[in-house]
């Protein structure tokens, strides 16, 4: 029986990482966007060649602008999330951004979405919702959840792996746990180009 793979995407982290790795500063806002299903399928295809795997779920976590404070940003975000929700086996989890007292001089921030991702990663492992989880993020706040799944009994599953962008022009980061081996799917520019989504969600979709 094929091992079920769940892919967990910290979307803003994935997006900003792709912009930093593969685009010049100040390019169009859609540069760095990815199609989550194509990315997830690519990650599954990069698994061990002697192990049968199948993609069971794609889970996307991201902040969402406040419609009162940023109606244009909210509309673009909503269009993108609604498109993702039409994709097979895809779940989108959002959390309203936090706006500091000094906003808009101070940038809005994602708060709480990493906690939701961490809880779902751990709960899915405990419930045996997946055999393999692939986490794509460089947010070190997720390390405790990654470590928990890594240390669960019942090998070979559940198994947790990570994914990260790799660029020859910049320092490539990944999540790791000292003293523990965690497989990393390094994705190079050709991988990114194969899953990039150039859609301008700031404009109404036809």
Tell me the domains of the chain and their CATH numbers: 3-195 (3.40.50.1010)
Query: How high is the pLDDT of residue 37?
Result: 97
Greater model confidence, 49 or 33: 33
Query: How high is the pLDDT of residue 145?
Result: 95
- Render 45-87 in DSSP notation, one character per residue: HTS-TTS-EEEEEEEEEEEE--TTT-HHHHHHHHHHHHHHHTS
**40-92 pLDDT, tens digit each:** 999 999 887 777 899 999 999 999 999 999 999 999 999 999 999 999 999 99
**130-183 pLDDT, tens digit each:** 999 999 999 999 999 999 998 886 667 888 999 999 998 777 789 998 888 899
Partners of residue 187 on adjacent β-strands: 165
Residue 69 CA: distances (Å) to CA of 30, 72, 82, 203: 21, 9, 20, 18
C-alpha torsion sign, points 137, 140, 143, 144: negative
pLDDT greater than 80 at residue 34:
yes
Query: How high is the pLDDT of residue 154?
Result: 66
pLDDT greater than 70 at residue 24:
yes
Residue 22 near residue 34, CB atoms below 8 Å? no
| Closest listed residue to residue 62, CA positions, set 138, 126, 114 | 114
Q: Report residue 204's pLDDT band, with 50, 70 and 90 as the boundaries.
A: confident
pLDDT greater than 80 at residue 39:
yes
Cα–Cα distance for residue pair 198/62, rounded to 1 Å: 18
Query: How high is the pLDDT of residue 73?
Result: 94
Please tell me the pTM assigned to this model.
0.94
Give the list of residues 6+ apart from residue 48 with CB closer than 8 angstroms, or none.
none
Count CA within 13 A, CB hemisphere, residue 7: 29
């Amino acid at each position: 029986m094929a091992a079920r793979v769940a892919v967990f995407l910290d979307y803003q982290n994935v997006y900003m990482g792709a912009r930093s790795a593969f685009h010049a500063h100040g390019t169009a806002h859609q540069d760095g966007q990815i199609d989550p299903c194509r990315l997830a399928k690519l990650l599954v295809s990069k698994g061990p060649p002697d192990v049968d795997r199948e993609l069971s779920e794609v889970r996307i976590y991201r902040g969402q602008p406040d419609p009162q404070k940023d109606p244009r940003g909210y509309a673009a975000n909503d269009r993108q999330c609604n498109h993702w929700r039409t994709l097979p086996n895809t779940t989108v989890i959002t959390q309203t951004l936090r706006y500091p007292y000094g906003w808009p001089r101070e940038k809005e921030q994602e708060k709480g979405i990493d906690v939701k991702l961490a809880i779902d990663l751990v709960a899915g492992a405990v419930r045996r919702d997946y055999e393999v989880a692939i986490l794509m993020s460089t947010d070190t706040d997720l390390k405790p959840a990654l470590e928990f799944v890594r240390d669960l009994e019942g090998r070979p599953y559940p198994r947790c792996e990570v994914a990260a962008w790799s660029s020859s022009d910049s320092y490539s980061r990944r999540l790791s746990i000292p003293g523990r081996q965690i497989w990393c799917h390094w994705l190079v520019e050709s991988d990114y180009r194969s899953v990039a989504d150039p859609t301008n969600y700031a404009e109404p979709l036809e």
